[in-house]
Amino acid sequence: MKPSLEHCFKLLLLLALGGVTMHVPDADVLSSLGALRLYGHFSFHDATAMARDFGNRCSLLPATVLHPGSVSDIAATVRHVFSLGERSPLTIAARGHGHSLMGQSQAAGGIVVRMESLRGDRLQVHDGSMSPFVDAPGGELWINVLHETLKYGLAPKSWTDYLHLTVGGTLSNAGVSGQAFRHGPQVSNVNQLEIVTGRGDVVTCSPEENSDLFYAALGGLGQFGIITRARIALEPAPKMVRWIRVLYSDFASFTEDQEMLIMAKNTFDYIEGFVIINRTGILNNWRTSFKPQDPVQASRFQSDGRVLYCLELTKNFNSNDAGTMEQEVTALLSKLRYIRSTLFHTDVTYLEFLDRVHTSEVKLRAQGLWEVPHPWLNLLIPRSSIHRFAKEVFGKILKDSNNGPILLYPVNKSKWDNRTSVVIPDEEIFYLVGFLSSAPSLSGHGSVAHAMNLNNQIVEFCEEADIGMKQYLAPYTTQQQWKAHFGARWETFERRKHTYDPLAILAPGQRIFPKAS
């Protein structure tokens, strides 16, 4: 659809009424987009929806939304904006599924590219070799990648806990879950990318070809180009998973067992963990409604004022090797120091296990508890500091974990490629600690203010104690903060920005490079 002047003026009015501070592109500039010959179209009706994200705490209205019908639509749009030069305020944000936390996939007064319009027909599995792979559009959801690859008995190796996220969105961050100890994060499992750079060039890149752009884009926070296709490594998919949770009351035993398991050769296929602090209110009387075999229940009972640590594990198997799996699991569990009466396990399909958070999403949506603010805080803590961190945070700063899960599990640096843009602590083992709070109330314990106050205390402690923490999915707002985040790697990051997006058109919502105008 060609944007009419009337549409443009309506939008400019909306921007002004929305009270959002932004560079407003003039109507001629917006109208010039309508002259582009595209397979897809620009639209205005979904601009408000594109000004929202999962975090639900930041709303920046775009001037228009591109629904690309092809990669060339994205390239033509970026080239056009690039041709307007540095005096134009127009920026472009690729939007995956909009599951960012603080406006990272938004573009105030700019163009949002709905990457999901590009998904579907180009998802292609290549299963004919020893190293199978899938070519996935950047806007494809991981759940759809899984469905498609399972048809060939294959699946990607490394995941996020939740699969209704896009390929381009998680590869722009890192993509971390309980398989990362073995395979590295998702960015370590990509063979090739197709990227539209900030100049509008369509570039194929890999470790062998245009490698600087390849590594820049992985974990690159959308700063160097829009990922339109990713070639993702696959492995044979198991049919079933033994899903296990066990509880600890001692943090040292919990983390020592986690570390032993991630370093062992014969080990589980997925290793995570979480912290339960003085948990109340989910079940009034967990003991009567408790199904000891169900691992989901392990996180639900009251912890009676104590801090407990839950180790979460899986072992993959197929029907013909269930016996071997039983033996291996028994042998592995016998080495652990959990509270013996707290072993919960169940057998589910691989698909059910990987898509487990979606099951919670459906329940929370039904109660109106999904589309609430999410003041999340995700930290990467070096192993050498994790005990100091736990001592200060669990039970002292945080008196309960009723507002959402607290993840805590170790990963190993050697599985992360230091040529990517991802920033991690400088130690072989570091922990991902995720405070995944929901804030359904306007005031009090369940409010954004309460959660942010706790988050700030945690971050301040990390800074004052100088524990070498790095934030994941960081919501920094100034270049100064980003420079501190990147440290010695800032120079490379900045050089790459000048090379691939010299006018700072892309991903303005990360607030790293303000667009000159």
In the residue annotation, 426 being an active-site residue is answered as: no
Q: How far is the CB of 243 from ligand FAD (least distance, A)?
A: 16
Among 173, 188, 197, 437, binds ligand FAD (CB under 6 A): 173
Q: Is 330 exposed, middle or buried (0-12, 13-18, 19+ CB in 10 A)?
A: exposed
Among 3, 68, 110, 169, interactor with ligand FAD by CB under 6 A: 169
Return left, alpha or beta for 487; rule: phi > 0 is left, psi -120 to 50 is alpha, else beta.
Answer: left
Position among 50, 51, 125, 226 found at the interface with ligand FAD (CB under 6 A): 226
Exposure pattern of 315-324 as b/e (b: 16+ CB <10 Å)?
Answer: bbbeeeeeee
Which one among 3, 98, 109, 410 touches ligand FAD, defined by CB under 6 A? Answer: 98
Would you state the structure tokens that stand for residue 108, as one six-digit string? 């105030």
Among 138, 219, 295, 382, binds ligand FAD (CB under 6 A): 138
To 10 degrees, the CA torsion angle through 239, 143, 509, 106?
-170
Q: Note every long-range contact of 14-22, with CB atoms under 8 Å and residues 24 or more positions apart, other chains counting.
A: 14/47, 14/61, 15/61, 15/63, 15/109, 18/59, 18/61, 20/59, 20/60, 20/61, 20/108, 20/109, 21/108, 22/60, 22/61, 22/89, 22/108, 22/109
* Distance in angstroms between the alpha carbons of the first and the last residue of the chain: 28
Residue 494 falls in the annotated catalytic set: no
Closest distance of CB 465 from ligand FAD, Å: 25
509 binds ligand FAD (CB under 6 A): yes
Footprint on residues 456-475 left by ligand FAD (CB under 6 A):
473
Amino acid at 306: R
- Residue 457 CB, nearest approach to ligand FAD (Å): 23
Return the closest-CA partner of residue 207 out of 182, 232, 190: 190
Residues 203-222 that bind ligand FAD (CB under 6 A): 221-222
Annotated catalytic residue, options 135, 148, 161, 201: 161
C-alpha to C-alpha distance for 502 and 490, rounded to whole angstroms? 16
Q: Is 105 a binder of ligand FAD (CB under 6 A)?
A: yes
Catalytic residue among 73, 140, 272, 392: 272
Sheet containing strand 41-43, strands side by side: 41-43, 64-67, 111-114, 92-95
From candidates 96, 109, 110, 410, binder to ligand FAD by CB under 6 A: 96
272 tagged catalytic: yes
The whole-angstrom separation of Cα 33 and Cα 17 is 23
Site membership for ligand FAD, residue 316 (CB under 6 A): no
Distances from the Cα of 516 to the Cα of 30, 89, 90, 93, angstroms: 18, 7, 10, 16
Q: Which of 77, 91, 158, 170 binds ligand FAD (CB under 6 A)?
A: 170
Per CB under 6 A, contacts with ligand FAD among 394-413 are none
State the nearest-atom distance from the C-beta of 482 to ligand FAD, in Å. 13
Which is closer to ligand FAD, CB of 179 or CB of 303?
A: 179
Residue 78 CB, shortest distance to ligand FAD, in Å, is 12
Number of residues that bind ligand FAD (CB under 6 A): 36
Residues that bind ligand FAD (CB under 6 A): 54, 93-100, 104-105, 115, 138, 160-162, 165-166, 168-170, 172-177, 221-222, 226-227, 357, 473, 507, 509-510
Residues tagged active-site: 99, 161, 272
